[in-house]
Amino acid sequence: MMNKRSFARPASARPHSSSSRPAHAPSSRPHSAPHHASGSVAHRPSAKPAFGSRPHVGASGGRTFSRPSFKGRSNFGAKRSGGFGGGGGGKKRFGGERIDVSRFIKKAVKVEEKPYVSKHTFADFPFDPIIQKNIAKKEYIHPRPIQDQAIPSVLAGKDVFGMANTGQGKTAAFLLPLINKVMKNREEKVLVLAPTRELAMQIEEDLRSMATGSKLFGVCVVGGMPIDKQIREIKHGVSFVIGTPGRVMDLIKRKVLDLAPYKSVVLDEADRMLDMGFRDDMVSILGKMDKNRQTLFFSATLSPEIKKLTSDFLKDPVFISVTTGETSKNIDQDVVRYNSKENRFDKLVEVLKNDGSDKVLIFREMKHACDTITKELSDAGFKVGCIHGDKRSRDRIRTLDLFKQDKINILVATDVAARGLDIPDVTHVINYDIPQTYDTYVHRIGRTGRADKKGNALTFVPQ
Whether the predicted pLDDT of 158 surpasses 90: yes
- Pair 62, 184 in one domain: no
Domain boundary among 321, 350, 376: 321
Cross-strand bridge partners of residue 221? 243
The reported pLDDT for the residue numbered 439 is: 79
Residue range 340-366: average pLDDT?
A: 93
The reported pLDDT for the residue numbered 330 is: 81
CA atoms within 13 A on the CB side of 68: 20
- Pair 168, 305 in one domain: yes
pLDDT digits (tens, 9 = 90+) for 64-78: 333 333 333 333 333
Among 7-11, 158-162, 246-250, name the one with the lowest average pLDDT.
7-11
The reported pLDDT for the residue numbered 109 is: 62
- Pair 260, 298 in one domain: yes
Residue range 313-324: average pLDDT?
A: 88
Instruction: Name the percent of the chain lying above pLDDT 70.
Output: 74
Does residue 22 sit within a domain?
no
pLDDT digits (tens, 9 = 90+) for 93-151: 444 456 788 888 887 665 555 677 899 999 999 999 999 999 999 889 999 999 999 99
pLDDT digits (tens, 9 = 90+) for 172-204: 999 999 999 999 999 999 999 999 888 899 999
- Among 53-62, 174-183, 443-452, the range of highest mean pLDDT: 174-183
Does residue 1 sit within a domain?
no
Among 289-293, 308-312, 376-380, 438-442, name the one with the lowest average pLDDT.
438-442
Query: How far is Cα 354 from Cα 352, in angstroms, rounded to an integer?
Result: 6
Task: Say which CATH number the domain at 361 has.
Answer: 3.40.50.300
Cross-strand bridge partners of residue 336? 75, 460
Among 21-35, 148-162, 280-294, name the one with the lowest average pLDDT.
21-35
Domain boundaries, position 144? 122-321
- Pair 299, 346 in one domain: no
Does residue 21 sit within a domain?
no
The reported pLDDT for the residue numbered 69 is: 34
pLDDT digits (tens, 9 = 90+) for 376-420: 999 999 999 999 888 887 888 889 889 989 999 999 999 877 665
- Pair 169, 289 in one domain: yes
- Pair 182, 254 in one domain: yes
- Pair 36, 97 in one domain: yes
Average pLDDT, the chain: 79
Residue range 311-336: average pLDDT?
A: 84
Does residue 364 sit within a domain?
yes
- Pair 94, 132 in one domain: no
CA nearest neighbour of 169 among 185, 184, 153, 149: 149
Residue range 284-297: average pLDDT?
A: 95
Burial category of 95 from C-beta neighbours within 10 Å (exposed 0-12, middle 13-18, buried 19 and up): exposed
Greater model confidence, 418 or 438: 438
Confidence of residue 92 (pLDDT cuts 50, 70, 90): very low
The reported pLDDT for the residue numbered 35 is: 40
Does residue 8 sit within a domain?
no
Confidence of residue 339 (pLDDT cuts 50, 70, 90): very high
- Pair 450, 380 in one domain: yes
Main-chain phi, psi angles of 241, to 5 degrees = -115, 120
Query: How far is Cα 46 from Cα 48, in angstroms, rounded to an integer?
Result: 5
Domain boundary among 321, 354, 385: 321
CA nearest neighbour of 409 among 59, 29, 57: 29
- Among 32-41, 79-88, 256-265, 319-328, the range of highest mean pLDDT: 256-265
Number of structural domains (the chain) is 2
Confidence of residue 451 (pLDDT cuts 50, 70, 90): low
Among 17-26, 87-96, 277-286, name the one with the lowest average pLDDT.
17-26
- Pair 251, 132 in one domain: yes
- Pair 140, 254 in one domain: yes
Query: How far is Cα 256 from Cα 193, in angstroms, rounded to an integer?
Result: 17
The reported pLDDT for the residue numbered 9 is: 35
Does residue 19 sit within a domain?
no
Whether the predicted pLDDT of 284 surpasses 60: yes
Residues of 386-415 as b/e, b for ≥16 C-beta within 10 angstroms?
bbbeebeeebbbbbbebbbbbbbbbbbbbb
Domain boundary among 256, 287, 321: 321
The reported pLDDT for the residue numbered 417 is: 73
- Pair 281, 203 in one domain: yes
The reported pLDDT for the residue numbered 13 is: 36
